Chain A
Amino acid sequence: MQLALKYYVIEFSKYIIAFLMVLYTSLSVTTVVSNKKKLVSVCTSVQSGLMLVVIFLSFLEMTFVSGMEEYLYLFAFITLFLFFMITIVSIIYDKSDRILLNNMCMLSGIGLSIVSRLSFSKAFRQYIITLISFAICLAIPFFIDRFKYFKQLLWVYASVGIVVLSIVLFTGSKVNGANITYTLKGITFQPSEFVKIIYLFFLAALLYKYNSFKWIFISALITGAYVIVLVFSRDLGSALIFFVAYVMIVVMSTHNYIYLISGLAGGALACIVAYNLFDHVKVRVVAFMDPWTYIDDQAYQITQSLFAISSGGWFGSGLMQGRPSDIPFVNQDLIFSAVCEEYGLLFAICLLIICMCVFCRMMMLSYRIADKFYQIIVYGIGIMYIFQVFLTVGGGIKFIPLTGVTLPLISYGGSSVMTTYIMLFIVQGIVIKSRNYEQAHDERKMAPDKKLY
């Protein structure tokens, strides 16, 4: 009987997981689109339950296929953590955004599941890093609310970012052909991830005050310095993310669409120059244009990724029943292909819709932020997040050339997870600050309660 149950779980759970994921995603979309307070609160509660079942079934399937009970313990730890995160944040910060928080937990849960499937020991490390990240992040909203000098540190942000990146460029170690990591006392960092945050604060501090062409030009020079350092250290994906975020933020703060057009034109030009100048750019494009010819070397990674995606079909092979480990660097850059192969395309598309929900929610939250400095930061975090998702997923499915960035919250990698957590909690902090401000404002005006749920 117990044996039969085991095989039923192995054969059926992928369909149940996909179904629950569709349900979760529809609720997610509902919460983002709807402005009925009550409906949203019901949806978010149901979501928490669905989240738990999806992650439970994933780990149950892994336990049965592998025969290792350790997976169930890991599940218990993960569930405890997610429950703890939702509860604590809701209690300490009653004005935090539950929709964002829920989706963040769901993505973290899925990420830990798929990393567990690829490597148990890596999943354990990832779990610890997630815990540490959360502990750090818990204080962020408090600081944002109280610390008043964020706007005044313009030149600190600019110089710290460039200095950190340059140190990595000249002294960093090579990983996967890219000069992007720095090891300190046995712990390896990828500073370009953290520099993203500093860079955003720099841009916001500059553009909320100055809108003249002169200052836009200066900001362009500094951004150019960041991007060039990144291109030289072969971190093409991050370079693109910085660039796109820069263009969109400039348009956001000036409301001048000429910057959008000239930015995109300049970007296209820069891509052509980079293509002709750098071999490592050329290789990516060649592998994208004609992967089957170069299946032996340059295009080995992308073709293996395509094999994985195509083999999964709509419902996937089931966890631990595919071969995602055939893909080089599947843990970081191509984790989405692993999700496609084992969870199936339906699940993977739902996952992307959840990412879209996170993005759209951040955009909608930025509507209401009256302080331009903070509005730019939330907007910038949203752009960086969704563009990174687009780069890594689009690259892995051969929609665009492969650039090698992580899928935020899903991929294995401490720097990536920690940065994404920090970014999302900065958004939470800004939202809380803005809601507090609104509330104070409303109370003064004796207006009826209209605050966001």
Chain B
Amino acid sequence: MKEKWHPIKNYIDSSPRAKSMVLINLTMIIFCILFLAMFIYLGIFVQTSTIDLYNNSYNNRQELQYKNVTRGTIYSSDGEVLAETRTDDAGNEIRYYPYGSMFAHAVGYAVNGRMGIEDYANYYLMHTGASLSDKVSNDLENVKDPGYDVYSTLNVELQKVVDDYLGSYNGAVIVTEAKTGRVLVLISHPDFNPGTIKEDWESITSNPENSQLLNRATQGLYPPGSTFKIITALEYYRENPGEWEDYKYNCEGSINHGDYRVSCIYGTVHGELNLEESFARSCNSSFVNIGLSLSRNRWADTMEDLYFNRPIPTDMVVNTSSAYIGAGSTDYDIMQTSIGQGKTVMTPLHLNMITQAIANNGVMMKPYIIEKIVDDDGNIVRDFEPESIGQVMSADEAAYLTDLMMAVVEYGTGRALITDSYTCAGKTGTAEFAQDINESHAWFTAFAPAEDPEICVTIIIEKAGTGMEYAVPLAKMIFDAYFGV
């Protein structure tokens, strides 16, 4: 009975004692597997969720770092300080924003809650890379350890151009790199001064209509107006391969369908148009005509591909654009959606991403605003690489849309951008939400150079008038500044 237990022999052995041993071993194996699974789960959980959970507002552990860590500095891509913590002689810490309100929404604030880079990079700003011996000597001298510094992708020069132009207008501008998705400019007006947010909090929050804290560039949901014709045109191209060039329409200034009527802007009669001319001149009648011919299901699929009605994959705080086409849509809904009116709303960031995909052979890039995290000695702790979201349209479709958008600048509503220095492709929009045309939102989304795109610009100016008159000139200033004209 006392010889050593043998794994194989004992399985064949049918004595009760051997059977008990098999069961005991089985029990041990089951629990070992269960615990192993738990270890793996724990390891993955800690590795992947530490930063997210640290930033959760229900997690009070941030207070631990306030005692030991001086919040890190936020830089622009070229090394200008955008936010830093200064300590006065009495040891009081003040968060200082050298550019005042210029980077209000992009850099954000870190008191009374958090926003912008102050929020996205909060974990790093409040954690230190100081070595153990440095920590000990800091403890001895009674100074705090320095938090990690953050380099953003933001460009001070371009940001200033936009900030000056927008002035007291409400609106938003976002500029990204066409091939990477790096955010160069992120502006939302009305803004606020992050340095005095605590003092101003009362007046900011007591005035909800003004919504100064809303980042209109990433969260503002606007009717896209004629800029949405990009999507309508893409869908027409998809449904009519090889035949889209034969499209003809005679514009009489408005179109009637059933009991409904849609007019062109200022009631302009555009006359005989092909598809490119309809797009370049932004003819509403022609696009309503196109929209009524499209398959509802396939159109809905295309919008889904382009991230309508589902969250955009990005680390920034965004809202989800919505555009509904389906079995329940009435003809009136279709007519409105074709020209970006009705229930259709989207964020400037989302329009910028679609523009960027067109500029990048159909590959949409994840927009990002943090370039890298460095420690006090300048060593890179984390480097953020461009990330592809996926091929949202084929390279063919992107080339076709680029041609249409170039026509807008060559002879359409974007003529103000004609210059010898660079070529540009874009689409204007005038989102009507009131009877008075001068109360419309002015849209423009564009990229340049058209042949080998470098940057994408998306502009919305609230209640300014037409995109052609108010948004296109700002795009020109941005391109001029970027290309050094």
Contacts and interface: CB of A to CB of B under 8 A. Distances in A.
Interface stretch (B57-65, B175-183, B228-236): B57-65
A258 interface: no
Interface in A312-333: 312-314, 317, 321-323, 326
A10 B138 CA distance: 13
Contacts of A309: 42, 45-46
A314 B42 CA distance: 10
Interface stretch (A132-140, A391-399, A419-427): A391-399
A322 B61 contact: yes
B372 interface: no
Contacts of B41: 397, 399
B140 A251 contact: no
Interface stretch (B14-22, B161-169, B316-324): B14-22
B297 interface: no
23 contacts: A11-B135, A307-B61, A310-B45, A310-B50, A310-B54, A311-B50, A311-B53, A312-B46, A313-B46, A314-B46, A322-B61, A323-B64, A345-B43, A345-B46, A349-B43, A352-B35, A356-B31, A356-B35, A375-B20, A390-B34, A390-B35, A393-B38, A394-B38
Nearest to A3: B140
Interface of B: 1-2, 5, 16, 19-21, 23-24, 27-28, 31-32, 34-35, 37-39, 41-43, 45-46, 49-50, 53-54, 56, 58-61, 63-64, 132, 135-136, 139-140
A356 B139 CA distance: 40
A4 interface: yes
A314 B24 CA distance: 33
Q: Which 9 A-B pairs have the closest CB atoms?
A: A7-B139, A255-B19, A307-B59, A310-B53, A7-B136, A310-B50, A311-B61, A363-B24, A11-B132
A12 B132 contact: yes
A450 interface: yes
Given A307-B61, A397-B45, A252 B50 contact: no
Nearest to A256: B19
Contacts, number: 113
A254 B41 CA distance: 35
A322 B54 CA distance: 13
Contacts of B54: 310-311
A350 B32 CA distance: 14
Contacts of A4: 136, 140
Contact of A303 (B31, B38, B58, B61): B58
Q: Select the residue from B49, B58, B135 with max chain A CB neighbours within 10 A.
A: B58
A341 B1 CA distance: 49
Nearest to B64: A323
Given A251-B23, A255-B19, 7 more contacts: A12-B132, A307-B58, A313-B50, A326-B61, A345-B42, A345-B46, A367-B21
B33 to A, nearest CB: 11
A255 B18 CA distance: 10
Contacts of A353: 35
A295 B57 CA distance: 11
A309 B54 CA distance: 11
A127 interface: no
Contact of A363 (B5, B27, B59, B135): B27
Contact of A326 (B19, B60, B135): B60
A310 B27 CA distance: 31
Contacts of A450: 2
Nearest to B54: A311
Given A12-B132, A252-B23, A379-B24, A310 B139 contact: no
Contacts of B56: 303, 307
B299 to A, nearest CB: 33
B139 A366 contact: no
Given A397-B41, A399-B41, A306 B53 contact: yes
Interface string A410-437: 0000000000000000000000000000
B67 to A, nearest CB: 10
A349 B44 CA distance: 13
Contacts of B64: 317, 321-323
B5 A367 contact: yes
Contact of A307 (B1, B53, B140): B53
A129 to B, nearest CB: 28
A360 interface: yes
Nearest to B21: A367
A386 interface: yes
Interface in A228-260: 248, 251-252, 255
A307 B45 CA distance: 11
Contacts of A317: 64
A295 B45 CA distance: 18
Interface string A272-303: 00000000000000000000000100001001
A389 to B, nearest CB: 8
Interface string A2-38: 0110011011100000000000000000000000000
B308 to A, nearest CB: 25
Contacts of A397: 38, 41-42, 45
Interface string A81-105: 0000000000000000000000000
A322 B19 CA distance: 49
Contacts of B5: 367
A155 B438 CA distance: 92
B60 A323 contact: yes
A304 interface: yes
Most buried by A among B42, B43, B54: B42
A366 B24 CA distance: 8
Contacts of B37: 399
A359 interface: yes
Interface string A338-364: 001000010011001100100110011
B32 A7 contact: no
A16 to B, nearest CB: 12
A332 B200 CA distance: 45
Given A359-B31, A367-B24, A390-B31, A399 B38 contact: yes
A197 interface: no
A383 interface: yes
A303 B59 CA distance: 9
| Most chain B CB neighbours (cut-off 10 Å) among A310, A353, A367 | A310
A255 B45 contact: no
Contacts of A321: 64
Nearest to A398: B45
A255 B16 contact: yes
B49 A310 contact: yes
Given A12-B132, A356-B31, A399-B41, A7 B140 contact: yes
A3 B35 CA distance: 42
A359 B59 CA distance: 35
A356 B61 contact: no
B28 A11 contact: no
Contacts of B16: 255
B139 A10 contact: yes
A375 B64 CA distance: 51
B160 to A, nearest CB: 39
Contacts of A322: 61, 64
A349 B53 contact: no
B256 to A, nearest CB: 48
Contacts of B58: 295, 300, 303-304, 307
A383 B24 CA distance: 10
A320 B63 CA distance: 14
B126 to A, nearest CB: 12
Nearest to A378: B24
A345 B19 CA distance: 38
B133 to A, nearest CB: 9
